[in-house]
Amino acid sequence: MTLFGIPWRRVLRAYAISIAVWLPISLLVTWQMYSFEHRLNPSMGLSAVLLLFSARHLSAALLTPPLFYIANRWPVAGGMWKRAAAYLLGSVAFAFAFATLRLALAPPYYEETASWQPRSFVALFDLTFGTFGDIFIMYAGIVIAAHAYAFFVRGQRHEIERLQLRQALAQSELQTLRSQLHPHFLFNTLQGVSTLIDTDRTTAQNMLHTLAELLRKVLKYGSADLIPFHEELAFVRAYLQLEHMRLERRLTVRWKISPAVETLLIPQLLLQPLVENAILHGIASAADGGWLEIEAGLQGEQLKVTIRNSIGGASQAGLGVGISNTRARLMFLYGDDASFAFNVADGKSAVAQLVLPAFAAPLPEAVSA
């Protein structure tokens, strides 16, 4: 159910908040006025003052949500002079509505006779225009507060929309970066297969079969940004199996993987380009081959992955996809919470080091009997 298109729950919440704000104001003013009136008229009791100002502020509380709605729907900024004039004229309607509610909640009280009087149109007129100055100040305060709140909410909404747009752009960029890896990986792998077709067809066929399995692993997680570390390792192991077929004894791989990192999350296809670079530019170009070492462990609350490889011979310069892609993906996914470093030590080995936040993969939900 709705009221003028607004859900009833939202309307009730708005009135509850309005009453909660006006209630302490009413109590504070009641006590202040009682202290003042009691000195002038000792016969006036606290209950009379409480009824008088409770009716006054409850009337204001009942009119506050509609004013907030109007200010949000038609802010002054939408048409400065016309709407400012409309709000000034609206003060008369507010004064009349306020006086009507005030008389409905409690009869008029006349200080001259210190007594309650019967409700009448004369009393309504006197309350509307006799105290118009006080009512206008109250009205102006509510309108200003409503505009301030509407401005704040609108600013928050724009900020959320900006963040959502930024997130969508980041997701699009991540998808683009990830898609760069597939043709790059396929090109290099198929190039390796092509070199064996004429000399070792059996090995070439086995490489194509393993390549198909690798592609199935890629498709398994689709566009997922993060996957469990053990799944990324499985892909790297399968890729290294391909390279073993091509390089045979010229490639030696050492693993130093801590069991504590198996379930941590890591960006999909983050390690493979770095391993590929290590083999293509550091090992395959050497006549005697070389070694590759992959190490992963926890460093405080961070996942640290280090890929080391020997360097030998002269390799053809690459396109820089692996390193530039890695840096860009880490920036989009983690910002300043992740780091990547690559350097060559004494011309004999290259080291690529990744430091990521140690996020654990969610445990699968138990299936109830």
Distance CA 260, CA 128 (A): 75
Identify whether 156 is part of a domain: no
For residue 227, how many other CB atoms are within 10 A of its CB?
Answer: 20
- pLDDT tens digit sequence for 36-46: 766 666 666 67
Its pTM surpasses 0.75: no
- pLDDT tens digit sequence for 279-316: 888 888 787 889 999 999 999 899 999 999 998 766 55
Identify whether 311 is part of a domain: yes
User: Residue 172: is its pLDDT beyond 60?
Assistant: no
Q: Are residues 229 and 98 in the same domain?
A: no
Q: How many domains does the chain have?
A: 2
Identify whether 230 is part of a domain: yes
pLDDT score for 30: 81
Q: Are residues 51 and 106 in the same domain?
A: yes
97, 130, 163 - which closes a domain: 130
Amino acid identity for residue 113 in this structure = T
Q: Are residues 215 and 332 in the same domain?
A: yes
100, 130, 160 - which closes a domain: 130
User: Residue 82: is its pLDDT beyond 60?
Assistant: yes
Q: Are residues 108 and 207 in the same domain?
A: no
Q: Are residues 187 and 91 in the same domain?
A: no
Identify whether 149 is part of a domain: no
* Averaged pLDDT, 98-116: 82
User: Residue 274: is its pLDDT beyond 50?
Assistant: yes
242 confidence band (pLDDT: 50, 70, 90): confident
The beta strands (E) that lie in the chain are given as 2-3, 6-7, 109-110, 115-116, 226-228, 251-257, 265-267, 290-299, 302-310, 339-345, 349-357
Q: Are residues 119 and 180 in the same domain?
A: no
Identify whether 155 is part of a domain: no
Q: Are residues 187 and 252 in the same domain?
A: yes
Identify whether 136 is part of a domain: no
pLDDT score for 113: 65
Q: Are residues 102 and 218 in the same domain?
A: no
Q: What is the CATH number of the domain that holds 201?
A: 3.30.565.10
Q: What is the DSSP string of 93-161?
A: HHHHHHHHHHHHHS--EETTTTEE----HHHHHHHHHHTHHHHHHHHHHHHHHHHHHHHHHHHHHHHHH
Tell me the residue range of the domain where 226 lies: 173-357
Identify whether 50 is part of a domain: yes
- pLDDT tens digit sequence for 199-241: 777 777 777 777 777 777 666 665 677 889 998 898 888 888 8
Q: Which pairing describes strands 290-299 and 251-257: parallel, antiparallel, or unpaired?
A: parallel
